[in-house]
Chains A and B, each alone.
Chain A
């Protein structure tokens, strides 16, 4: 890529940040040039974020209908899936799946909930609260 080909597409997701790309200058020597983003990046980033958003919105409805526990919603809200939540809370994958069921979640002990609360960066009270607090919706 040449220095005058560096994309400057002003991506929203960069929040005004820029990042360097390694490019050739006019004399054919390598140098860096700051880029405010490339549209192609934005497409794939939005795709990845939308995947979590859709999952979180679906979970919201499922919790309202008693099909899932708030844990499922907060998991997707924090851009995790069952596997990542299991790894970062220290629970087994099957436990996470089970705790995402409303009936099981209702019977969970404080200590178990604390593991999830820590992994999700929230308090147990907030984890239990439904509908979720404004800052967490």
Chain B
């Protein structure tokens, strides 16, 4: 049994799954709107937290914040269920699907059978929407794929109940009720304010705009140690950074293009044309992020001499561009009531 479901491919899994669930329940929002209103854009470098042996580098807030941020700002009542036993979790999933209700699931990437082999890593906070089932298979609207995917029961169960960092514990979610007329203006203004605060006024040097400079200085210091081990480690770090920025469903440039698209759409929605101009600056900053990735890849591949100084300079440039864009956003002094 497969209910009617409007599957659309998006750049990021969490904003895509959330947009799909809301669309199915009558609230059509674009992916950039979902991402922007949730206020999930950030930059953070937290060396104490290790992800797959590498320090945590994030261009967005931790998994779950998109769903929670969006639903609290728009007044959407989301229901979340976690399960102790895999059997319970699968039974609850079946119950929802049999009742014709598509639900969002949190899963591991590694154990999903339809993922390309080279893309499978131990990342436990992937989001997808289960839309229907047959005897032993599930139809899945996975926002990172072009068409509907199929997963067998055993694999889906394993993917939902992996242990470890960010363990999903079978998380299943769906909107219970959606307000008739969500407060878009207030939500947009508040989310922009929060993002600006986080990026410009974070109390730690490794978060926000300053965090970009923090990483730039770390990369600059890398040239001081030219032992073979250090070189290998440093190359891995730079590769890891580019992967987090480009590969993990970011829509390009570590979500910066997605955010620019949000600002552009908001400019029309709440009639603040200045937002359009600032969106262009985020696009320019995103282009510089891409240039950083390109330099890094060329250096790793040996098509360009390995030059940590050049990479650090490029990051500094990105930092200054982002800073000026956030300052302009702040100086708009947007009001909740027009």
- Which residue of chain B lies nearest to A11 when distances are taken between CB atoms in the complex? B118
Contact residues in A for B246 (Cβ distance below 8 Å): 38, 40-41, 44
Contact residues in B for A81 (Cβ distance below 8 Å): 52-53
Binds A, one of B40-48, B172-180, B217-225, B256-264: B256-264
Question: How many pairs of residues, A versus B, come closer than 8 Å at their CB atoms?
Answer: 125
Chain B interfacial residues counted at CB < 8 A? 55
- Which residue of chain A lies nearest to B303 when distances are taken between CB atoms in the complex? A43
What range describes how many residues of A lie at the interface?
Answer: 35 or more
Beyond A38-B246, A47-B236, whether A87 also contacts B163 by CB under 8 A is yes
Binds A, one of B99-107, B282-290, B320-328: B282-290
As a 0/1 sequence over residues 5 to 31 of chain A, the CB contacts with chain B under 8 angstroms (1 = contact) are 000000011110111111110001110
Binds A, one of B59-67, B74-82, B205-213, B291-299: B291-299
Partner pick for A79 among B122, B279, B290, B300, CB 8 A cutoff: B122
Contact residues in B for A41 (Cβ distance below 8 Å): 242-243, 246-247, 297
Q: Which among A22, A47, A80, A84 has the greatest number of chain B C-beta atoms within 10 A?
A: A22
Q: Is the interface of B mostly helix, strand, loop or mixed?
A: helix
In the complex, chain B residues 133-151 whose Cβ is within 8 Å of any chain A Cβ: 144-146
B265 within 8 A of A: yes
Beyond A1-B257, A30-B265, A41-B247, whether A18 also contacts B146 by CB under 8 A is yes
Query: Are A121 and B158 in contact (CB-based, < 8 A)?
Result: yes
Beyond A22-B251, A47-B300, A79-B122, whether A30 also contacts B162 by CB under 8 A is no
- In addition to A30-B260, A41-B243, 12 A-B residue pairs with Cβ atoms within 8 Å of each other are A1-B283, A1-B286, A15-B116, A15-B117, A19-B11, A22-B252, A24-B283, A30-B261, A41-B246, A43-B301, A84-B165, A121-B111
